[in-house]
Chain A
Amino acid sequence: MPDWTTFVRERLQLRNIRPEYEQDVVADLASQLEDAYRDAIDQGLSDAEAVAAVSAHITDWSVIAHQVAQSHRLAAPVLDRLDTRVSDAALRGRRLTGTVAGLLHDFRFAARLARKSPGFTAVAVVTLALGVGANATIFSWINSILLNPLAGTDARRLVDVGMLDKSGSFISMSYPDYLDLRDASPALLGLLVHDTTPASLAGPSGAERIWIELVSDNFFDVLGVTPIAGRGFQPLEGRAPVPVVVISERLAQRRFGNTQSIGQTIDINGSPFTIVGVAPATFSSGYTGLAMDVWLPIQMSNKVMPGTNRISLRNNHWLDTMGRLVPGVTSDRAATELTAIAHRIATDEGTDTDTRISVTPMWRSTRGAQAVLGPVLMVLMAMVGIVLLIACANVANLLLSRASARRREFALRLSLGCSPSRLVRQLLVEALLLVSVAGVAAMIAQVWTGGLLIWFVPPTDFPIALPSRLDTRVLMFTAVTAFASALIFGLAPALQAARTDLVEDLKGDSNQLSGSRRSWFRNTLVVSQVSLALLLLAAAGLLLRSLENARLFNPGFKAEHVLLSSVDLFSAGYEPTRGAQALTRMLDEIRALPNVASASLARRVPLGISTGSSSTTIEPEGYTSPEGAPAATYLNWVGADYFRTMEIPIVAGHEFTAADRPNHPEILIVNQTFIDRYWPGQDPIGKRIRIGKDWFPVVGVVGNSKYRRLNEPPLAFVYLSTTWNYRPDVTFHIRTSSDPKLLVEPVRTIVRRIDPQLPVFGIRTLEEHVRAASLQQRLAASLLALFGALALLLASIGLYATIAYSVSRRTKEFGARLALGATRRDIMQLVFRQGARLTAIGVAIGLVLALGLAPLLSALLVGVRPIDVRTFATVTLVLLSIATLASYLPARRAAGLDPLQALREE
């Protein structure tokens, strides 16, 4: 006699049954089969015949298994099913393999499904790829500028260290202060200082303009950069001037064709330097976004920078500072400690004891590309996040429609013993497959889009390097984003599918309750899409208006028809007297060129990427400050005819003229804000200002202009004349009546005639230069406009799909209405009203969101307030008209129904 329990176990595959019931079922069936067997034997059948007779009792075991599984009493609760999966150690291995096999099966099924409906797949993948791709791109920018601002360095615990004066304004560090601070703080593993300057590198084909980073001897050690050949700097080179240099790999390749250049000499500003090291190509400099060619010890600064006593004077503040924290030490603690040390030094040295030291993480540094791009990138990241949400909502919508079409399939699978959790898994796998394809597409696109950032950077004199690397962090971010979106857009439709009502769905009839639940969900999706799209559009609108304002903005000078070009006489080895003569000669010849209306020179050009000008404390005659804080102003050094050339209006007095002579008493010019702030209601002409030790009379007042940023508040400004203050590094400003570009060659020729070795650099029009000032607005506005349009498109597709779907579901109803006498107009209005209601709710929520969030954009706006009625009204109108179109199309179709056909519709 066979063992009937084994007989049953071998044939009956029960799933998701409480273990104790499983025993019961098997034992009961075995017992019944044994009874049948004994019965057959009793009737005289042979053993084999009896077994055959018994086997005929149950021909289809799967039917029994399925019917038993239908029993609520026997079915294990969902949590138990998970429990048994986890706790049953003996079975775990088998089940896990089962799960993996099941997942593979799910993926194959999903892939087959995706191929079967290429249209659906394409739309879903493209939508997701746009969303994920936008996120990957912006994140890669954030990664290279904020998260890992100094490529090629060990970024851990690297901090920006700054010195702040009493008023909280940033001041640079002097070399003596640095030497006292660097070893005094137990909070820091290392403290470095650096600064940049252009210089002239002698070469076989004439001088070449290069950028130098002057650094403390511990620079490479603190940053964790290992030269690929040779070494970094040594302590001795931080104490005494030693003519050694570390060069970039790029320069090594360019100059020597290889990196084996240790021991060779190069000629910088006419002095020989011995190459001791080659920096790796991955490292570009200690400043985010800048690529240096050469690193020199600070002790060599007198060879490449004008001015004296940079090394020994404690009140010569010129260096930027970075440090690496000791593990476990917070920025705040380090700042407190460093401030205390700075106080002690100041007390000992009898200098200003009111300075504080600030320590900030690199990504919040107020210098470098992160300061300019950081705020924009944050806004953009938030915006692409919203775009992705809208894209997810759209794909969720698509999946819901498809889930409705697949309800019979789901019901069939559930009734055939597929557990709901298995169905959810299958649907999530389908979502995952879509997003994986989209994610890969986004990655591939990112390789290209990551480099787009540089497009927004206008031509500058600086060696800009904005690397966009596809590193593991970007990959991880993209993978996580993609996975999270799969959960967002895949889970809801999957859970809904698992709640299928078997009976109704098998019959192929739409269940009223679940139908309304589904439409509620779809409506929520559409409303959130509309509201998020409005938010994006509002942001884009505000930025576009800012960009337009920036373009039309009157910076206080006239940027058209002015050519800029710079020379650096210090690098070329000029003495002040000879330099001043050379500049005067060049300017005279430039002024004599045809079509030149006027020409001048200045140390700084307003509104560039590098703001350059810093605040200085001064003492206006007769002014006592209310809180004892010293009066402060920004400075520039300008030549004769500067204001005429820039077309900055002269409000009172006169400007610097060619008749000024160094042996006359020095004079100053101030701007209107200076007067308003320090001498309100007084006649400023003849009043004096103390700068440093001496008092200088004011001879002119000029109109305000923008100096650093387009949206800056009015700044007090003092102009000094180059007649009394020789500056070797100047930029010629040349106003012409024709196209300024036509002057490029004539200017080059003039400079070459006076000194064939002197490079002319930074040749650009003032308009091009000023465009840099609106970098933030251009970047944000261009991308936000793009994202806004994308959001609008996606949201209107979502709205259209929802309305169209509901029309298709209500075909019968519309047929009945038409048959009962409703006019086509009525039907159209009915559908239309649905779309209008969803749009209205979405717009209302979106407006509230936009009103709440717009102030976050303040820092980027020019000439427009965050709550701008015109912008908000415009974007609302745009959204409403697109939404109207999106619901008009399905409404027209509904109205065009043939009642008879509609009624017959299944």
Chain B
Amino acid sequence: MANHDLKKGSTELLVLALLEARARHGYEIGKLIEARSDGRLTFRIGSLYPVLCRLEDRGLITGRWTEKTGERRRRFYRLTAEGRSVLERQRTAWQEFSDAVNQILRNRHA
């Protein structure tokens, strides 16, 4: 199911969505995607890291080294204000797009 091309186009959206609630560190983001998609979507660190880099570059997320009590220092990424508005726009666009796609796919069965 996890078609490569589809995954590629939506990774940024997924990362932004996962950071909406709170800041997370890099490995956590990958684990969460896997968990929430019931293992259907998996991202290796090697493919996720450049996405984080790119998003940070565009100012949609920022990373910061944080040390939580009893844990190692990790770099936590959180959404910026701009990231939040981009996420909103992309979420709507995705919704509309997938609705449209679904509609067409369903129509064929009808």
Q: Which residues of B contact A33 (CB under 8 A)?
A: 45
Q: Which residues of B contact A58 (CB under 8 A)?
A: 44-46, 49
**With the chains together, A477 CA to B57 CA distance in Å?**
51
Q: Which residues of B contact A39 (CB under 8 A)?
A: 27, 31
Judge whether A59 is part of the interface by a CB distance below 8 angstroms.
yes
Among the listed stretches A62-70, A120-128, A342-350, A512-520, which one makes contact with chain B, having 4 or more residues with CB under 8 Å of it?
A62-70
- Chain B nearest CB from A29 CB (Å) reads 6
Given A35-B25, A67-B53, A71-B53, also A29-B45 (CB < 8 A): yes
Residues of A23-51 contacting chain B, CB below 8 A: 24-25, 27-29, 31-36, 39
B27 touches A32 (CB 8 A): yes
**With the chains together, A32 CA to B25 CA distance in Å?**
8
Contact with B along A68-110 (1 / 0, CB 8 A): 1001111000000000000000000000000000000000000
B26 touches A32 (CB 8 A): yes
**With the chains together, A33 CA to B27 CA distance in Å?**
8
Judge whether B7 is part of the interface by a CB distance below 8 angstroms.
no
Given A31-B72, A39-B31, A73-B57, also A63-B45 (CB < 8 A): no
Judge whether A56 is part of the interface by a CB distance below 8 angstroms.
yes
Residues of B1-44 contacting chain A, CB below 8 A: 25-28, 31, 44
Task: Select B75's contact among A24, A36, A59, A67, beta carbons within 8 Å.
Answer: A24
Judge whether A57 is part of the interface by a CB distance below 8 angstroms.
yes
**With the chains together, A57 CA to B26 CA distance in Å?**
13
Q: Which residues of A contact B53 (CB under 8 A)?
A: 25, 67-68, 71, 74
Please, which residue of chain A has its CB at the minimum distance from the CB of B43?
A57
Judge whether A60 is part of the interface by a CB distance below 8 angstroms.
yes
B75 touches A68 (CB 8 A): no
Task: Select B56's contact among A27, A34, A57, A73, beta carbons within 8 Å.
Answer: A73
Given A67-B54, A72-B57, A73-B57, also A31-B44 (CB < 8 A): no
Residues of B43-97 contacting chain A, CB below 8 A: 44-46, 49-50, 53-54, 56-57, 63, 65, 72-75
Task: Select A60's contact among B26, B46, B57, beta carbons within 8 Å.
Answer: B46
Q: Which residues of A contact B56 (CB under 8 A)?
A: 71, 73
Q: Which residues of A contact B28 (CB under 8 A)?
A: 35
**With the chains together, A71 CA to B57 CA distance in Å?**
6
- Secondary structure type dominating chain B contacts: helix
**With the chains together, A870 CA to B99 CA distance in Å?**
84
**With the chains together, A414 CA to B63 CA distance in Å?**
28
Q: Which residues of A contact B26 (CB under 8 A)?
A: 28, 31-32, 35
Q: Which residues of A contact B44 (CB under 8 A)?
A: 56-58
Q: Which residues of B contact A29 (CB under 8 A)?
A: 45, 49
**With the chains together, A588 CA to B63 CA distance in Å?**
115
- Secondary structure type dominating chain A contacts: helix
- Chain A nearest CB from B68 CB (Å) reads 13
Q: Which residues of A contact B74 (CB under 8 A)?
A: 31, 35
Please, which residue of chain A has its CB at the minimum distance from the CB of B29?
A32
Q: Which residues of B contact A31 (CB under 8 A)?
A: 25-27, 72-75
Q: Which residues of B contact A36 (CB under 8 A)?
A: 27, 45
Q: Which residues of A contact B27 (CB under 8 A)?
A: 31-32, 35-36, 39
Q: Which residues of B contact A71 (CB under 8 A)?
A: 53-54, 56-57
B75 touches A27 (CB 8 A): yes
Of B45, B65, B73, B74, the most chain A CB neighbours within 10 A belong to B45
Q: Which residues of A contact B31 (CB under 8 A)?
A: 39
- Chain A nearest CB from B27 CB (Å) reads 4
**With the chains together, A66 CA to B19 CA distance in Å?**
25
**With the chains together, A63 CA to B48 CA distance in Å?**
12
- Chain A nearest CB from B30 CB (Å) reads 8
- Chain B nearest CB from A42 CB (Å) reads 12
B50 touches A68 (CB 8 A): yes
**With the chains together, A27 CA to B25 CA distance in Å?**
12
A63 touches B46 (CB 8 A): yes
Please, which residue of chain A has its CB at the minimum distance from the CB of B59?
A73
**With the chains together, A29 CA to B44 CA distance in Å?**
12
A64 touches B49 (CB 8 A): yes
Task: Select B46's contact among A28, A57, A72, beta carbons within 8 Å.
Answer: A57
**With the chains together, A72 CA to B50 CA distance in Å?**
13
Q: Which residues of A contact B46 (CB under 8 A)?
A: 57-60, 63-64
A64 touches B57 (CB 8 A): no
Please, which residue of chain A has its CB at the minimum distance from the CB of B56?
A73
Contact with B along A702-718 (1 / 0, CB 8 A): 00000000000000000
Of B25, B26, B72, the most chain A CB neighbours within 10 A belong to B26
- Chain A nearest CB from B81 CB (Å) reads 18
- Chain B nearest CB from A331 CB (Å) reads 67
B75 touches A28 (CB 8 A): yes
Q: Which residues of A contact B72 (CB under 8 A)?
A: 31, 34
Q: Which residues of B contact A25 (CB under 8 A)?
A: 53
Please, which residue of chain A has its CB at the minimum distance from the CB of B45?
A57
**With the chains together, A74 CA to B52 CA distance in Å?**
13
**With the chains together, A68 CA to B57 CA distance in Å?**
10
- Chain B nearest CB from A65 CB (Å) reads 10
Task: Select A28's contact among B54, B57, B63, beta carbons within 8 Å.
Answer: B63
Q: Which residues of A contact B50 (CB under 8 A)?
A: 63-64, 67-68
Please, which residue of chain B has its CB at the minimum distance from the CB of A60?
B46
Please, which residue of chain B has its CB at the minimum distance from the CB of A73?
B57
**With the chains together, A58 CA to B25 CA distance in Å?**
17
**With the chains together, A36 CA to B29 CA distance in Å?**
12
**With the chains together, A494 CA to B17 CA distance in Å?**
45
**With the chains together, A56 CA to B30 CA distance in Å?**
14
- Chain A nearest CB from B79 CB (Å) reads 17
**With the chains together, A39 CA to B44 CA distance in Å?**
13
**With the chains together, A28 CA to B48 CA distance in Å?**
12
Please, which residue of chain B has its CB at the minimum distance from the CB of A68?
B53
Please, which residue of chain A has its CB at the minimum distance from the CB of B63?
A28
**With the chains together, A59 CA to B45 CA distance in Å?**
10
Q: Which residues of B contact A34 (CB under 8 A)?
A: 72
Q: Which residues of B contact A28 (CB under 8 A)?
A: 26, 49, 63, 75
Q: Which residues of B contact A27 (CB under 8 A)?
A: 65, 75
- Chain A nearest CB from B89 CB (Å) reads 23
- Chain B nearest CB from A777 CB (Å) reads 70
**With the chains together, A244 CA to B38 CA distance in Å?**
116
**With the chains together, A36 CA to B27 CA distance in Å?**
7
- Chain B nearest CB from A423 CB (Å) reads 23
**With the chains together, A798 CA to B74 CA distance in Å?**
62
**With the chains together, A58 CA to B27 CA distance in Å?**
13
**With the chains together, A35 CA to B75 CA distance in Å?**
12
- Chain B nearest CB from A582 CB (Å) reads 104
Please, which residue of chain A has its CB at the minimum distance from the CB of B48?
A32
- Chain A nearest CB from B74 CB (Å) reads 5
**With the chains together, A73 CA to B53 CA distance in Å?**
9
Please, which residue of chain B has its CB at the minimum distance from the CB of A36?
B27
Of A31, A33, A59, the most chain B CB neighbours within 10 A belong to A31
Q: Which residues of B contact A73 (CB under 8 A)?
A: 56-57
- Chain B nearest CB from A53 CB (Å) reads 10
**With the chains together, A588 CA to B57 CA distance in Å?**
107
- Chain B nearest CB from A606 CB (Å) reads 86
Please, which residue of chain A has its CB at the minimum distance from the CB of B74?
A31
- Chain B nearest CB from A57 CB (Å) reads 4
Please, which residue of chain A has its CB at the minimum distance from the CB of B44?
A57
Q: Which residues of B contact A60 (CB under 8 A)?
A: 46
- Chain A nearest CB from B109 CB (Å) reads 38
- Chain A nearest CB from B53 CB (Å) reads 5
Task: Select B45's contact among A32, A72, A74, beta carbons within 8 Å.
Answer: A32
11 more CB-based (< 8 A) A-B contacts, given A33-B45, A63-B50, A67-B54: A27-B65, A28-B63, A31-B72, A32-B49, A35-B25, A35-B26, A35-B27, A39-B31, A58-B49, A73-B56, A73-B57
> What are 25 residue pairs bridging A and B, where the CB atoms are less than 8 Å apart in the complex?
A24-B63, A27-B75, A29-B45, A31-B26, A31-B27, A31-B72, A32-B26, A32-B49, A33-B45, A34-B72, A35-B27, A36-B45, A57-B44, A58-B44, A58-B46, A60-B46, A63-B46, A64-B46, A67-B53, A67-B54, A68-B50, A68-B53, A71-B53, A71-B54, A73-B56
Q: State the 9 A-B residue pairs at the shortest beta-carbon distance, nearest first.
A: A58-B46, A35-B27, A67-B50, A57-B45, A32-B26, A57-B44, A32-B27, A28-B75, A71-B57
